[in-house]
Chains A and B, each alone.
Chain A
């Protein structure tokens, strides 16, 4: 489904190019739950941005269902981000002057996939699914951190994405709320949605079926290592 082929990424700063990713190859299929691990500054978030088409690699290709998203035009990328990808950020970004239900409905505003009634029906289902029923008409300012993150999760699922990108989704949550979010991500992967989660937390990574360990290029000559947690994959 999502394929990374010889992906390189470097940044130029004051005439010096710093390479972050080098020759990365990865194949993500429906139902995969990838955890991307590695120390700070290794390029985890950059990798996530490249995978979802928000950033471009310096070399190599990223393909979704066989189509390159590196060479796709901005309209195709907009459509892809809207209909095929879902995003859960570390900070639960939202529109603070819109109610919970309006925030969840946000992707449908930019999509023709559902009618307004269909989108509303799906949003109501997701509100129950993530466990924030009764909060639909509240403003986000009146929600706790965990409730906000679940609202964002419901928003990410609204248009039934094929891949969910989660960047440190439990980074600002307590243990109980972290467990809820990780359980929801696991359920999604079990239902056939691919999940790519960037995390520092090894406990969070233990929910994943596959782990991608990123190392600094200069420290690890064989570059990146992919560890398949075969026993967990079997359990799934």
Chain B
């Protein structure tokens, strides 16, 4: 088929669609709904995955958390400072290892004002591993840690509630007090809402030197909430192997007791990606099925067109149109209807994604993959479901089609 033939057949097809625009629009609706749902569903899936990925990145994919079990009614006796010391010795010097103890919801007071806050007794590096930033002041220094100075860094909301001044305000809690040397920046969306990760509201913390922690066991060792490990970024690839090694070491040490759990944000992210992929595949299957239903609609309309255009096809065959040319015309027709559906569905999908993003605050990200695969599937649908009617038209007998001839 040369260009002028294509132009003629294309114009013929456009005229045929214009003559039956309402029916053509209806038949393209199936494809439109399929494409729109494909774009929306994959965009939601990608948006959710992106949000989750961001959260895990904030936690640090090169980090590991050894969390204490045995608090809050869970079985086990928890982990102690002894493991912290051992792990520090076992890991290379490039690794940052820190430990902390959380005391939930204490009442902090200053100058007649009070607010609820979590007390975190954290060792050096913890603020780095958690990627905390300062609004003003400074973090606790190594000498503060070593001396056990009564200094603290407080969360943004605590600072707002108590109206403290750096180095001048001494806030009190649980019968103790500390001088505020730093205020954390407001932290948004810093937490993964996952049962495997400790939920600490960094806007409502009072960070104190690890040495000040009040609870020790019968060996004068502190019972920890968590040991946090951060490996250099280039070691991220080995983090899962390290997680397995730590698990194995601790399992031997505790002889199978459920005193701890090793949590790897990277491992959690991989699991999340796997489940998100399954979700995407299910959503895609539903959309593809909708497209197939749309394709059947196109086939139906094409067969109707053919029965209405029997004499026209017969005339074309009689004056010299080859069967191939008839196939081309009807395939073109099916393709245009499906592409029309693709355009409608694409526009609808984009509007819905935009609407969800603006008005519903859903984690949604426009899926480029859907924008590529939507038209591709529409094209395949048009070809697949247009082929049978096109072949049927081309193989019709011109004598029967013209009846009187």
User: Footprint of B on A, CB under 8 Å?
Assistant: 45, 48-49, 54-55, 74-75, 78-79, 81-83, 87, 89-91, 93-95, 97-98, 106-107, 109-111, 116, 155, 167-168
For A106, list chain B residues within 8 Å (CB): 315-316, 319
The answer to whether A78 and B315 touch across the interface, beta carbons within 8 angstroms, is no
Is B325's CB within 8 Å of the partner chain A? yes
* Contact flag A54-B398 (CB < 8 Å), given A48-B405, A95-B312, A167-B405: yes
The answer to whether B405 and A49 touch across the interface, beta carbons within 8 angstroms, is yes
The answer to whether B319 and A55 touch across the interface, beta carbons within 8 angstroms, is no
The answer to whether B312 and A78 touch across the interface, beta carbons within 8 angstroms, is no
The answer to whether A95 and B315 touch across the interface, beta carbons within 8 angstroms, is yes
- In chain B, positions 310-367 with a C-beta closer than 8 Å to chain A are 311-312, 314-316, 318-323, 325
Is B19's CB within 8 Å of the partner chain A? yes
* Known contacts A75-B322, A94-B315, A116-B4; 20 further A-B pairs (Cβ under 8 A): A45-B405, A49-B405, A54-B399, A74-B322, A74-B323, A81-B318, A81-B319, A87-B318, A87-B319, A89-B405, A93-B312, A93-B314, A93-B315, A93-B402, A95-B315, A97-B15, A109-B5, A109-B321, A110-B320, A168-B404
Closest chain-B Cβ to A163's Cβ sits at a distance in Å of 14
Q: Once the chains are docked, how many angstroms separate the CA of A48 from the CA of B402?
A: 13
The answer to whether B15 and A83 touch across the interface, beta carbons within 8 angstroms, is no
Tell me the nearest residue of chain B to A167, going by C-beta. B405
The answer to whether B319 and A45 touch across the interface, beta carbons within 8 angstroms, is no
The answer to whether B405 and A54 touch across the interface, beta carbons within 8 angstroms, is yes
**Interface 1/0 per residue, B1-27 and A, CB below 8 Å:** 000110010000001100100000000
Closest chain-A Cβ to B326's Cβ sits at a distance in Å of 10
**Interface 1/0 per residue, B382-405 and A, CB below 8 Å:** 000000000000000011001011
The answer to whether B399 and A82 touch across the interface, beta carbons within 8 angstroms, is no
Tell me the nearest residue of chain B to A111, going by C-beta. B320
Size of interface on B: residues with Cβ below 8 Å to A:
23
Closest chain-A Cβ to B327's Cβ sits at a distance in Å of 13
Q: Number of contacts between A and B (CB, 8 Å)?
A: 65
For A97, list chain B residues within 8 Å (CB): 15-16, 19
Max chain A Cβ within 10 angstroms of own Cβ: one of B5, B311, B318, B320: B320
Closest chain-B Cβ to A216's Cβ sits at a distance in Å of 20
Closest chain-B Cβ to A208's Cβ sits at a distance in Å of 19
Tell me the nearest residue of chain B to A159, going by C-beta. B320
Closest chain-A Cβ to B121's Cβ sits at a distance in Å of 84
For B16, list chain A residues within 8 Å (CB): 97
Closest chain-B Cβ to A189's Cβ sits at a distance in Å of 21
For A91, list chain B residues within 8 Å (CB): 404
Tell me the nearest residue of chain A to B5, going by C-beta. A109
The answer to whether A107 and B405 touch across the interface, beta carbons within 8 angstroms, is no
Q: Once the chains are docked, how many angstroms separate the CA of A118 from the CA of B312?
A: 25
Closest chain-A Cβ to B329's Cβ sits at a distance in Å of 11
Tell me the nearest residue of chain A to B15, going by C-beta. A97
Q: Once the chains are docked, how many angstroms separate the CA of A91 from the CA of B401?
A: 13
* Contact flag A45-B404 (CB < 8 Å), given A93-B315, A109-B5: yes
The answer to whether A93 and B311 touch across the interface, beta carbons within 8 angstroms, is yes
For B405, list chain A residues within 8 Å (CB): 45, 48-49, 54, 87, 89-90, 167
The answer to whether A49 and B319 touch across the interface, beta carbons within 8 angstroms, is no
For B319, list chain A residues within 8 Å (CB): 81-82, 87, 106-107, 110, 155
Tell me the nearest residue of chain B to A93, going by C-beta. B315
The answer to whether B315 and A55 touch across the interface, beta carbons within 8 angstroms, is no
Closest chain-B Cβ to A169's Cβ sits at a distance in Å of 11
The answer to whether A110 and B318 touch across the interface, beta carbons within 8 angstroms, is no
Closest chain-B Cβ to A54's Cβ sits at a distance in Å of 5
Q: Once the chains are docked, how many angstroms separate the CA of A98 from the CA of B312?
A: 12
The answer to whether B402 and A81 touch across the interface, beta carbons within 8 angstroms, is no
Tell me the nearest residue of chain B to A110, going by C-beta. B320
- In chain B, positions 1-56 with a C-beta closer than 8 Å to chain A are 4-5, 8, 15-16, 19
The answer to whether B318 and A54 touch across the interface, beta carbons within 8 angstroms, is yes
For A95, list chain B residues within 8 Å (CB): 312, 315
19 cross-chain CB contacts under 8 A: A45-B405, A54-B398, A74-B323, A78-B322, A87-B319, A87-B405, A90-B405, A93-B312, A93-B314, A95-B312, A97-B19, A106-B319, A107-B320, A109-B5, A109-B8, A110-B321, A116-B4, A155-B319, A168-B404
Q: Once the chains are docked, how many angstroms separate the CA of A137 from the CA of B320?
A: 23
For A116, list chain B residues within 8 Å (CB): 4
Q: Once the chains are docked, how many angstroms separate the CA of A45 from the CA of B404?
A: 8
Tell me the nearest residue of chain B to A55, going by C-beta. B399
Closest chain-A Cβ to B264's Cβ sits at a distance in Å of 68
Q: Once the chains are docked, how many angstroms separate the CA of A95 from the CA of B405?
A: 17
Q: Once the chains are docked, how many angstroms separate the CA of A116 from the CA of B253?
A: 91
Tell me the nearest residue of chain B to A78, going by C-beta. B322
Q: Once the chains are docked, how many angstroms separate the CA of A79 from the CA of B402?
A: 19
For B8, list chain A residues within 8 Å (CB): 109
Closest chain-A Cβ to B50's Cβ sits at a distance in Å of 50
* Contact flag A78-B399 (CB < 8 Å), given A90-B404, A91-B404, A93-B315: no
* Contact flag A78-B4 (CB < 8 Å), given A54-B398, A54-B399, A95-B312: no
Q: Once the chains are docked, how many angstroms separate the CA of A162 from the CA of B315?
A: 19
Tell me the nearest residue of chain B to A90, going by C-beta. B404
The answer to whether A81 and B320 touch across the interface, beta carbons within 8 angstroms, is yes
Max chain B Cβ within 10 angstroms of own Cβ: one of A90, A91, A93, A116: A93
Q: Once the chains are docked, how many angstroms separate the CA of A81 from the CA of B312?
A: 16
The answer to whether B312 and A83 touch across the interface, beta carbons within 8 angstroms, is no
Closest chain-B Cβ to A36's Cβ sits at a distance in Å of 13
Closest chain-A Cβ to B283's Cβ sits at a distance in Å of 42
